[in-house]
């Protein structure tokens, strides 16, 4: 086990080192995502992974309904454009709070279990700590729990494009109600 700290190091560097080892799947669980997902993802190199799966929140009747669709769409489109050989998936768990970055290679897992969200502040600036843990039965069970807790599996580009469109329409209508001059 290895302790990670943004004070003496960087979660971003630790995550990149994990990714660089290569693997069949990179699993990211984080309720909060970088506001500019595309620029944020550009700070990583994903050539060594075959699949990347993001588990995050997308809560109904929540302000994130206006921002999360674009973040999720940008995530999927990023991999389609920049890493077409990497299969990207987005799943939703609206009770998610934990942040885990797990790499699976040949059915063996390593994971960073941390307080750091998948954001620039989380991986760089905030005082965040975590642990890098090697493969174990406990880690197998944890990853199984993550997948069992998913409420909505593999959101599609079409679903996310519609959600972005609805969010934009809502924002546009809200501006007209607040300021009829628009």
In this prediction, residue 64 carries a pLDDT of: 84
In this prediction, residue 181 carries a pLDDT of: 56
Domain span including residue 53: 2-178
Write the pLDDT tens digit of every residue in 114-127. 999 999 999 999 99
What radius of gyration, in Å, describes the C-alpha atoms of the chain? 17
Percentage with pLDDT > 90 across the chain: 86
CATH code of residue 12: 3.30.870.10
Write the pLDDT tens digit of every residue in 165-181. 988 888 777 665 555 55
In this prediction, residue 177 carries a pLDDT of: 55
In this prediction, residue 61 carries a pLDDT of: 86
In this prediction, residue 66 carries a pLDDT of: 87
pTM across the whole model:
0.92
C-alpha 88/C-alpha 42 separation (Å) is 15
The helix or strand, by DSSP H or E, that contains position 13, with its residue range, turns out to be helix 11-20
95 pLDDT band (50/70/90 cuts)?
A: very high
CA 172 to mean position of chain CA atoms: 27
Q: What is the per-residue DSSP string for 94-132?
A: TT---EEEEEEETTEEEEEEES--BSHIIIIIS--EEEE
In this prediction, residue 144 carries a pLDDT of: 98
2 pLDDT band (50/70/90 cuts)?
A: very high
Q: What is the per-residue DSSP string for 18-57?
A: HHHT-EEEEEEE-SSB-SSHHHHHTTS--TTEEEEEEEE-
The domain tally of the chain equals 1
In this prediction, residue 31 carries a pLDDT of: 98
Write the pLDDT tens digit of every residue in 29-45. 999 999 999 999 999 99
The helix or strand, by DSSP H or E, that contains position 148, with its residue range, turns out to be helix 137-148
In this prediction, residue 140 carries a pLDDT of: 97
In this prediction, residue 175 carries a pLDDT of: 63
């Amino acid at each position: 086990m290895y302790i990670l700290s943004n004070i003496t190091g960087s979660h971003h560097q630790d995550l990149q080192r994990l990714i660089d080892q290569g693997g069949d799947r990179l699993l990211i669980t984080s309720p909060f995502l970088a506001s500019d997902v595309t620029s944020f993802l550009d700070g990583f190199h994903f050539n060594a992974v075959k699949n990347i799966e993001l588990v995050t929140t997308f809560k109904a009747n929540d302000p994130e309904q206006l921002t999360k669709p674009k973040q999720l769409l940008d995530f999927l489109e990023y991999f389609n454009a920049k890493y077409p050989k990497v299969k990207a998936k987005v799943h939703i768990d609206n009770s998610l709070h934990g942040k885990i970055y797990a790499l699976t290679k040949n059915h063996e897992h390593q994971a960073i279990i941390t307080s750091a969200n998948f954001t620039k502040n989380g991986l760089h600036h905030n005082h965040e700590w975590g642990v890098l843990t090697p493969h174990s039965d406990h880690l197998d069970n944890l990853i199984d729990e993550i997948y069992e807790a998913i409420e909505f599996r593999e959101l599609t580009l079409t679903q996310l494009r519609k959600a972005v469109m609805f969010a934009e329409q809502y924002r546009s209508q809200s501006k007209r109600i607040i300021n009829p001059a628009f």
